[in-house]
Amino acid sequence: MLAQLDSATVVGIEAYPIQVQVYVSGGMGKFDIVGLPDTAVKESAKRVEAAVKNSNFEFSHSHHITVNLAPADLRKVGPAFDLPIALGTLAASEQITGKYLDSFLVVGELALDGTVRPVNGALSLAMTAREQGKRLMCPRGNLPEASVVEGLEIYPVTTLYEAATIVCDPGLPERAAPDLDLLARPQFEVDFAEVRGQEVAKRALEVAAAGGHNVLMIGPPGSGKTMLARRLPTILPPLTPAEALECTRVYSVAGMLPAGEGLISQRPFRAPHHTVSSPGMVGGGAFPRPGEISLAHHGVLFLDEFPEFSRDCLESLRQPLEDGVVTISRAQASLSYPARLMLVAAMNPCPCGFYGDAVKNCTCSPSAVHNYVRRVSGPLLDRIDVHLEVARPKTDEVLGRAGTGGETSAVIRERVTAAREIQHQRFRPATDRPAGGAATAIFCNAQMRTRHLRQYCALTPGCEALLRHALENLGLSVRAHDRILRLARTIADLAASPNIAEEHMAEAINYRSLDRKAWG
């Protein structure tokens, strides 16, 4: 007998519908799975057999069971097909009627005792179920994230026996209400008030946070670069529901969503070690999964000791920083992961760290300084909006004699949030379509394209003269010209100014005027 039901598989962060066809016939006891399954899917035969037997059903070795996962040209990955294969087997062997079987999209991994274990990518799977007009049957552990999807009937299950009962008589669906209030009240263990001095650096980070701009901090060891970077998330505006949904999809697919949480409530902060590989940074691998730049989507990617990262790893950042999406092409398929993030990099000015320091003398040769700085390529630096020198703090500031550490993160975040709200209203109807990607909403000034610059960054004659002088004397590229305009627009938004004034343009140019040639 033949039984058919619906499931789905995750490719990148998208889920694609799969039809599970199970045919039980006479003959030698065999269990074949076809339809381009990976090893985890092929191994489901053993898990299904044990789960069926331990759930008080029969599994006859005198039958030939054939499972087809259609379409056959799409690779099927992971153990999420265990539950639909088991239910199809029970229906095809007439142990259950499965009257409502075709109304469900079923996913779940089976343990040998018949319990149903959570799967990765449940949020994407739930979105596909809604698009297909299906009810979703999923592991109970995936209920919080599946509940984020509105307008979807969800039937969480704990065991195979419970799942078999539901497809015969569904009853009422369940839902776990996500706590959206968490988005408006993120909790942090650090605060900008703890940073003494460094007023110029704090102002630059405020501007970067307001517009989502990338930052490079250069300074001697102990000047506070890492301390500043780790406090940057505390002044970023709370995640919007749309941003939180995108972040949650990435973490769900990566299997990194905290247990019991249905929605990522705080902007991600990722700080990989400089030994990270290129696939670890951009994603991919033998079993494709999001990399660090996608895990930092709508958050901060902090790269400490910037020049110590491998050349391949750093150069792999160039396209994602420009397009906001990572496309990984392999022989069998191409995957896309989102990568709209703030890159914050920190580095010393030389190998010993004290080139140009007012207190300690540098022990590096000119060639060593030259080679160290050149580890970061010009094209990559060109994609970083704010170039910032972080000087050693003064003794009085360190000892607290120059007053307090300054404003709290909450105070700064209010200004940043107000500037982001201006941008939200500005870009409400605007979308951006990266090369090879889907249309994506624009959330901040750093994501503006050329057409938006012409529309929202009109310059007065004075501003144009300042920008012309900078381009001619600093040797800036066309890309740097566009990034200065974005910065100036953000500074104007912080000042609640509808137009870019000369003081806004001057400050923006100042953040791009760092001269690498001065280091040798």
Residue 517 clears pLDDT 60, i.e. is over it: no
Res 515: pLDDT: 54
Q: What is the pLDDT of residues 277-302, one digit of tens each?
A: 999 999 887 777 899 999 999 999 99
d(C-alpha 391, C-alpha 385), whole Å = 19
pTM: 0.89
Res 430: pLDDT: 54
Residue 66 host element (H or E): strand 63-70
Residue 137 clears pLDDT 80, i.e. is over it: yes
Distances (CA, A) of 157 to 5, 103, 116: 17, 16, 7
Residue 269 clears pLDDT 50, i.e. is over it: yes
Q: What is the pLDDT of residues 231-253, one digit of tens each?
A: 999 999 998 888 899 999 999 99
Res 442: pLDDT: 82
Sign of the dihedral through C-alpha 476, 480, 486, 491: negative
**Quick one: angle between helices 478-494 and 409-426, nearest 10?**
110
Q: What domains are there in the chain, each with its CATH number?
A: 2-168 (3.30.230.10), 184-519 (3.40.50.300)
Opening angle at CA 58, ends 57 and 62, nearest 5: 165
Res 396: pLDDT: 73
The residue among 479 and 28 whose pLDDT is bigger is: 479
Burial of 62 (0-12, 13-18, 19+ CB in 10 A): exposed
Q: Binning pLDDT at 50, 70 and 90, where does residue 436 land? A: very low
d(C-alpha 127, C-alpha 444), whole Å = 26
